[in-house]
Amino acid sequence: MASLADHHHLHFVLIPFMCPGHLIPMVDLARLLAQHGVIVTLITTPLNAIRFAIRFEKIINRDIQSGLPIRLLKLRFPCAEAALPEGCENVDSLPSRNLSKNFSDAARMLQQPIEKFLEETSPGPSCIVSDRYLPWTINVSRKFGIPRLAFDGTSCFAFICSHKVMLSRIHEKVSDSEYFVVPGLPDRIELTKAQLPSTINQSSTTFRDRHEEIKAADETSYGLVFNSFQELEDTYVEECRKLQGDKIWCIGPVSLCNKENIDKGQRGNKTSIDEEQCLKWLNSWPSKSVVYACLGTLGCMSPLQLIELGLALEASKRPFMWVIRDGGEEEKYGVMLKREEIRKAIEMVMDEEEGKEKRKKAREVGRMAKKAFGRRTGGGSSHRNFKLPVEDILKESKRRLCT
């Protein structure tokens, strides 16, 4: 096994997709690589630096001060060239989902400045770690003759489900509310068209072509890295290997690299109230009594659905913290849930007796995740899996030096 000193010869360039749910775990991955002695350059853009990276810089600067080899590279995002409104440097800042293709085009225009950086940087790049949704980075990988690791922030299960749905196009043969069985899975998984993400529900040839481009880049990458852990979805890890080959590594959850409360609090967007105020309010309630409602950065509900959710939370008679995204248009697809359905679901989980097994299972999964990510007694599965691609890239780098 190589030492940390050997890893200092490696330089990993991380290229995240500019969306909070993609960017944040990539920052965690950057920190993990640096903690293993790898020189890391994380690429971002000016406004993402203001929104995210300045908060990250507080974390990253502490890492740098402690001697970790991590850097931020800020590149201008070509909004005007892609016919985007000025300042749209992140998916969640788009005024309309109709501009998604423009955003992808703008991201693709970063290829040239990235290549210029790679030509000039020292030490030279050893590996590109790219978000899967940036398939053009495979061209950069080929040009420089260096491996590309594709990073997926979800799971092997989601990866395989998406693949099977897109391959069969079964969702195109049913109505929005009609259930269908996802074909070719080890388990019986039933979904409706309305439950699928909008990226799959798009029927245009543009989106289908982009899916094929992502698929082709995955297949020619050195390997795929998932923000998941082996014990959570062992069957679907094996399904991924059947599809993509052996170089599949589950290294998550990478958020567990944040040990300090200050690091956890400074991830993501700035909230309308500060972390201390949130903690003070949370501490005023008994442990495990608060409902946390959050549908993600890109969750866009109709006003009617927002009302139903709000009334359901209120009807639950339990303290709740509700995170709502500021602005954005509602999703075309989605399942309309009534307040009584939501209230019953909250009661089912929060009820002392009825929800006991579910809470027990959730705690067990949490313990499994920490064990997988941990370093004790040789390290858990994610800790070991994290080392494997780094060791592979080190061998590949030495081989190239010798040829």
Q: Note whether 387 and 381 are within 8 A (CB).
A: no
Q: Where are the alpha helices (DSSP H) in 36-135?
A: 46-48, 54-65, 100-108, 111-120
Cβ contacts of residue 6 below 8 Å, gap of 6+?
37, 394
Q: Note whether 72 and 57 are within 8 A (CB).
A: yes
The residue assigned the tokens 């959570």 is: 232
Q: Count of CB atoms within 10 A of residue 369's CB?
A: 20
Residue of 11, 22, 163, 383 marked active site: 22
Distance CA(164)–CA(86), nearest Å, equals 38
Does the active-site annotation cover 11? no
379 — alpha (psi -120 to 50), left (phi > 0) or beta?
Answer: left
Distance CA(282)–CA(290), nearest Å, equals 8
Nearest to 249 by CA among 136, 147, 376: 147
Nearest to 267 by CA among 24, 15, 17: 24
User: How far is residue 395 from each of residues 42, 170, 247, 400, measured CA to CA in Å?
Assistant: 23, 43, 15, 9
Distance CA(334)–CA(198), nearest Å, equals 9
Distance CA(10)–CA(401), nearest Å, equals 12
Does the active-site annotation cover 22? yes
Concatenated DSSP letters for 340-397?
HHHHHHHHHHHSTTTTHHHHHHHHHHHHHHHHHH--GGG--HHHHHHHHHHHHHHHHH
Distance CA(30)–CA(71), nearest Å, equals 9
Residue of 28, 63, 92, 131 marked active site: 131
Q: Note whether 66 and 191 are within 8 A (CB).
A: no
3-state secondary structure of 118: helix
Radius of gyration of the chain (CA): 22
Catalytic residue ranges: 22, 131
